C-alpha cells in the first residue's frame, strides 16, 4: 500500500505534492511526508497522521522548491510515527527516497551496510534501500546507475522515487510489484502511484511495468529495463475528469459512490447488449468467447468485496451457463499449488487491479497455461495489463475504502458474461431478451432504493449501538449477506458475520438474543418460505430482525421488526438491489458512531502488500 507522488518543473512542488497525496490517501493514511530540494538543499517534512496534518506543517515551515517527492504511508515495517514516515534520507543526507512496497531482504542489506559504517535511524525496510543507493553513489555518483545497481540487489516489491542533492534536475523512479505512472506535462513532469494524483495536471501518462527503471526531468524522461535496455513506451491518454475524484458536495466519498450507482451501472452496461438477438457483446472478450464457453471449469479468484462478487458469479455461471465454477481467495490460491489445466479459465476480479494477492494468483494461473481473464475497474492497472483479455467494469474511480459501486458493477459484468455464455449454450433468445430488459431497467430501480435513504438512516439508528450482527441469506443472496457484514465491520468496527440462512441452526443460533440483530436478505424467490422459517426461529429467541424484502411482500412485515423494501428484478440481478440498503445502513451507522467512513482504521483501499 502507500502512495507516492513526485513533481519536477517550474512551479512550487509543495502544493502539487500535497494535493496529489490527498488523492492517494486511500492507499494509506497513518503518516505522510514531503522531500523537496530547496535552493540546492534537500529538506524533508514529515507528520504522523493524515495528509492534512502534513499540510499544516508544510505551510508553517514554508517548504518551497521546484522538485520534490511525497509519500502517504500504510505501515508495514515500523510503527506509524515521524521517524518511520517517508521520505527517508540516506545517512549522508544527500539522497532521499519514497517507497511503496516491501524490501524482503532488507535485514541482509542492512547488515551489509552496517558493516560498511552506515547507521540507521528508522525501523523501516526502506532505509536500507536509500543507504544502498548512497553506497553505490560513493565515488563519482550517477544517481540513475546507483539506483539500478542497488535494485539488482533487492528482493521484494517497490514503487520508488529518488532525489539527490547532487542531481536536483531529475527524479529517478523504478517499479516492481507496486504501481507507478509517469505524467507528462508542459515543461513539467510528474510521477505517482496512480493517475488520480495527477489527473488535474495532465492526461498523458506512461505506465511502468515491473523491473523497469527511469527518470523524469522537467522536459524529458527515460525508461529502461532493470538490465539496462532502453524502452520506447506507449503514451496513454486517460479519460478521467477531476469531478470523478472529488466529493462533489457529499460528506463522504462512500456516500457519493453509493449514490452514483445508477450512473455507474449505466456506464458498466452501456453498448454491451443487443436486444434483438438477446445477447451480450463484450469487446474485451472478442476472440476468447469460444474458449471461455468451452472451459471445462471456470475458477474465479479475488479478495474481499471482489471475492463476494465472485461468489455471485459462481451462482450465475453454473445456473445459467452450466459451467462448473470454483471460487478461490486469491491469497490462498497463490500458495496452494492449484490444479489448473489449459482447458480451465481463471477469472480475476479486482476493483483496483493492484491487489498483490490477486496479481500473484493471476501470474500463477498464467504460468499453468489457463486462459486468464480480468474483471477490473482501474484502466491500465497491473491486473488489467497482465490478463489475456477481460472486461472493464467502468464504475469510475472508487475512493472510499469500503467498496460499493465497484461491487454492483462487478455483478453487472458477471451477469453480462453469463448472458454471453448462456446464449452460446442453451438459453433462448426470448430469455436473453428478458435479461437485457431487466438490465436496462435496473438503474431506475436502484434510484428507487436510494430515494429511501432517509428511511434507511432512521432504521439504522435502531441498530447503531449493537455490538454484534448476523447477516443471513440463501443462494445468490448468501454473498450479499457476506458483503453486508463486511461493509459494517470495516467502517463501523461492529463485529458482523454473514452466513447462509440455513446454516444458522448449525451454530450461530446460539448467539441470538435481544442484543444481537439479524439482517435477513429475503426476496420472494424459491427459498423464500424457508427464510421465513429462519426469521421465526430468530424471533422465537427474542432476536431483532431487519428484513430486506420485495416491495409487494406484506407477509414479512408481520414477522420482522423492520423491513426495507426493494423493487423486483430478474433473479440474476437481485444482488445488485439487495446490497444497496446494506451499504447505506453500514454508512449511516458509521457516521452515527462518529467514525471516519472513508478512511477506516488499519485499512487501505488497495492492498498492494501480502
Ligand atoms: O481492489 P480489489 O477489488 O482487488 O480489492 C479487494 C479487497 O481488498 C477489497 O474489496 C476490500 O475488501 C474492500 N475494503 C472492501 O470494501
Nearest-CA residue for atom 12 of ligand 1: 304
Tell me whether residue 605 is one of the annotated catalytic residues: yes
The CATH H-level (homologous superfamily) assignment of domain 452-599 is Glucose-6-phosphate isomerase like protein; domain 1 (3.40.50.10490)
CB 306 within 8 A of CB 410: yes
Q: Which three cell numbers stand for residue 245?
A: 475524484
Task: Give the start-end residues of each E strand in 134-188.
Answer: 158-164, 171-176, 181-184
Pocket test for ligand 1, best of 304, 333, 482, 496 (most atoms within 8 A of CB): 304
Index of the ligand 1 atom closest to the CA of residue 487: 16
Nearest-CA residue for atom 9 of ligand 1: 304
CB 230 within 8 A of CB 208: no
Per-residue pLDDT of 416-464, as tens digits, reads 999 999 999 999 999 999 999 999 999 999 999 999 999 999 999 999 9
Tell me which residues of the chain have a pLDDT lower than 50: none
- The whole-number pLDDT of residue 16 equals 97
Task: Give the angle 531-532-536 at the CA atoms, nearest 5°.
Answer: 115
Catalytic residue among 22, 94, 256, 605: 605
Pocket test for ligand 1, best of 28, 252, 306 (most atoms within 8 A of CB): 306
- The whole-number pLDDT of residue 177 equals 85
Nearest residue to 261 via CA among 367, 145, 396: 396
CB 404 within 8 A of CB 583: yes
Index of the ligand 1 atom closest to the CA of residue 383: 4
State whether the beta carbon of 304 lies less than 6 angstroms from ligand 1. yes
Per-residue pLDDT of 530-551, as tens digits, reads 889 999 999 988 999 999 999 9
Per-residue pLDDT of 90-142, as tens digits, reads 999 999 999 998 899 999 999 999 999 999 999 899 999 999 999 999 877 89
Q: What is the pTM assigned to this prediction?
A: 0.80
Architecture per CATH, domain 247-448, reads as 3-Layer(aba) Sandwich (3.40)
CA of 115 relative to ligand 1 center, distance in Å: 42
Instruction: Give the end-to-end CA distance of the chain in Å, rounded to a whole number.
Output: 10
CB 507 within 8 A of CB 609: no
- The whole-number pLDDT of residue 609 equals 67
State whether the beta carbon of 265 lies less than 6 angstroms from ligand 1. no
The whole-angstrom separation of Cα 1 and Cα 23 is: 14
Quote the percentage of the chain above a pLDDT of 90: 80
Domain ranges of the chain: 3-244, 247-448, 452-599
Tell me whether residue 230 is one of the annotated catalytic residues: no
Quote the percentage of the chain above a pLDDT of 70: 99
Q: Would the CATH topology of 247-448 be identical to that of 452-599?
A: yes
CB 532 within 8 A of CB 559: yes
Q: Which residues is 519 bridged to in the sheet?
A: 471, 546
- Cis before residue 87, ω within 30 degrees of 0? yes
| Element holding 279 (H helix, E strand) | strand 279-280
Question: What b/e sequence results for 159-179 when a residue is b if at least 16 CB atoms lie within 10 Å of its CB, and e otherwise?
Answer: bbbbbbbebbebbbbbbbbbb
Q: Which fold has domain 3-244?
A: 3.60.20
| Element holding 206 (H helix, E strand) | strand 204-207
Per-residue pLDDT of 42-55, as tens digits, reads 999 999 998 999 99
Pocket test for ligand 1, best of 303, 347, 488, 582 (most atoms within 8 A of CB): 303
Strand 158-164 and strand 3-8: pairing? Answer: unpaired
Q: Write the DSSP symbol of residue 208.
A: P
Q: Is 140 helix (H, G, I), strand (E, B) or coil?
A: coil
Amino acid at each position: 500500500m502507500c502512495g507516492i507522488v513526485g513533481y519536477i518543473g517550474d512551479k512550487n512542488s509543495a502544493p502539487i505534492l500535497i494535493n496529489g497525496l490527498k488523492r492517494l490517501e486511500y492507499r494509506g493514511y497513518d503518516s505522510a511526508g514531503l522531500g523537496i530540494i530547496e535552493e540546492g538543499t534537500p529538506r524533508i517534512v514529515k507528520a504522523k497522521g493524515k495528509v492534512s496534518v502534513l499540510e499544516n506543517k508544510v505551510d508553517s515551515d514554508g517548504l518551497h522548491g521546484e522538485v520534490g517527492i511525497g509519500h502517504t504511508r500504510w505501515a508495514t515495517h515500523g510503527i506509524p510515527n515521524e521517524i518511520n514516515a517517508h521520505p527517508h534520507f540516506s545517512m549522508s543526507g544527500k539522497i532521499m527516497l519514497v517507497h511503496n512496497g516491501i524490501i524482503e531482504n532488507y535485514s541482509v542489506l542492512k547488515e551489509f551496510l552496517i558493516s560498511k559504517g552506515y547507521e540507521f535511524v528508522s525501523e523501516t525496510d526502506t532505509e536500507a534501500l536509500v543507504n544502498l543507493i548512497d553506497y553505490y553513489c560513493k565515488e563519482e555518483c550517477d544517481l540513475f546507475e546507483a539506483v539500478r545497481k542497488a535494485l539488482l540487489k533487492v528482493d521484494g516489491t517497490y514503487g520508488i522515487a529518488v532525489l539527490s542533492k547532487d542531481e536536483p534536475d531529475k527524479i529517478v523512479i523504478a517499479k516492481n510489484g507496486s504501481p507507478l505512472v509517469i505524467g507528462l506535462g508542459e515543461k513539467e513532469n510528474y510521477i505517482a502511484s496512480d493517475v488520480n494524483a495527477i489527473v488535474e495536471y495532465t492526461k498523458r501518462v506512461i505506465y511502468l511495468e515491473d523491473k523497469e527503471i527511469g527518470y523524469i526531468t522537467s522536459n524529458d524522461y527515460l525508461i529502461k529495463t532493470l538490465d539496462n535496455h532502453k524502452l520506447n513506451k506507449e503514451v496513454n491518454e486517460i479519460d478521467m475528469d477531476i469531478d470523478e475524484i472529488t466529493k462533489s458536495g457529499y460528506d463522504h466519498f462512500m456516500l457519493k459512490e453509493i449514490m452514483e450507482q445508477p450512473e455507474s451501472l449505466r456506464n458498466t452496461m452501456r453498448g454491451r447488449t443487443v436486444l434483438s438477438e438477446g445477447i451480450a457483446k463484450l469487446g474485451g472478450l472478442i476472440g476468447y468467447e469460444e474458449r471461455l464457453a468451452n472451459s471445462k471449469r471456470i475458477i474465479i479468484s479475488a479478495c474481499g468485496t471482489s471475492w463476494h462478487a465472485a461468489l455471485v458469479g459462481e451462482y450465475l455461471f453454473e445456473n445459467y451457463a452450466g459451467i462448473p465454477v470454483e471460487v478461490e481467495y486469491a491469497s490462498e490460491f497463490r500458495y496452494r499449488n492449484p490444479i489448473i489445466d489449459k482447458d480451465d479459465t481463471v477469472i480475476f476480479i479486482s476493483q483496483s487491479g493492484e491487489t498483490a494477492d490477486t496479481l500473484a494468483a493471476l501470474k500463477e494461473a498464467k504460468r499453468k497455461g489457463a486462459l486468464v481473464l480480468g474483471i477490473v475497474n482501474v484502466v491500465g492497472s497491473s491486473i488489467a495489463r497482465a490478463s489475456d483479455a477481460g472486461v472493464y467494469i467502468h464504475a469510475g474511480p472508487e475512493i472510499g475504502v469500503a467498496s460499493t459501486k465497484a461491487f454492483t458493477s462487478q455483478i453487472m459484468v458477471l451477469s453480462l458474461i453469463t448472458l454471453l455464455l448462456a446464449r452460446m449454450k442453451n438459453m433462448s433468445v426470448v430469455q436473453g431478451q428478458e435479461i437485457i430488459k431487466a438490465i436496462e431497467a435496473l438503474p431506475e430501480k436502484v434510484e428507487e432504493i436510494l430515494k429511501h435513504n432517509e428511511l434507511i438512516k432512521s432504521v439504522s439508528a435502531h441498530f447503531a449501538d449493537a455490538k454484534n450482527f448476523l447477516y443471513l441469506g440463501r443462494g445468490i443472496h448468501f454473498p450479499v449477506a457476506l458483503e453486508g457484514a463486511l461493509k459494517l465491520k470495516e467502517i463501523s468496527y461492529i463485529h458482523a458475520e454473514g452466513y447462509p440462512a440455513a446454516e444458522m441452526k448449525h451454530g450461530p443460533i446460539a448467539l441470538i438474543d435481544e442484543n444481537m440483530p439479524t439482517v435477513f436478505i429475503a426476496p420472494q424467490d424459491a427459498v423464500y418460505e424457508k427464510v421465513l422459517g429462519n426469521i421465526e426461529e430468530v424471533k422465537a429467541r427474542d432476536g431483532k430482525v431487519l428484513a430486506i424484502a420485495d416491495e409487494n411482500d406484506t407477509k414479512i412485515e408481520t414477522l420482522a421488526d423492520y423491513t426495507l423494501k426493494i423493487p423486483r428484478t430478474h433473479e440474476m440481478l437481485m444482488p445488485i438491489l439487495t446490497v444497496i440498503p446494506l451499504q447505506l445502513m453500514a454508512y449511516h451507522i458509521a457516521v452515527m458512531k462518529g467514525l471516519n467512513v472513508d478512511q477506516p482504521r488499519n485499512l487501505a483501499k488497495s492492498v498492494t502488500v501480502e
